[in-house]
Amino acid sequence: MSLQDLASLKCEVCVPGTPHIDPGRADQLHEQIDPAWTLEEARIRRRFKFGDFREALAFANKIGDLAEAEGHHPDLGVGWGYVRVTLTTHAAGGLTENDFILAAKIDLL
């Protein structure tokens, strides 16, 4: 599966008790997104750099619009020249394919 293939998928609705993916599957999906994403035990993270606060905020707003459309919401940190994105599926208590789908879509913004 490529980045484009992953980005073409739609996030599925998760409810409390949704199972998280196993570490092997997380490793496979991590290979499909930009290597700037770090894979941690129960989340993936990436920091994006920008020339100023306005650019960072505009990018964060694009992520917000995307997250609303997908029904899957990252944790965002915005400051002068950067946006930090953390993805995890709280309802699953860890990573699901939704996290990697949204990461792929963010990579294409």
Under DSSP, the state recorded for 63 is H
Under DSSP, the state recorded for 91 is G
How does pLDDT run across 30-49, given as a tens digit for each residue?
Answer: 999 999 999 998 999 999 99
Domains parsed from the chain with CATH numbers: 3-7+19-107 (3.30.1360.20)
Q: How confident is the model at residue 1 (pLDDT cuts 50, 70, 90)?
A: confident
Task: Please state the pTM of the whole predicted model.
Answer: 0.96
**75-79 sheet: strands from edge to edge:** 38-39, 44-49, 82-87, 75-79
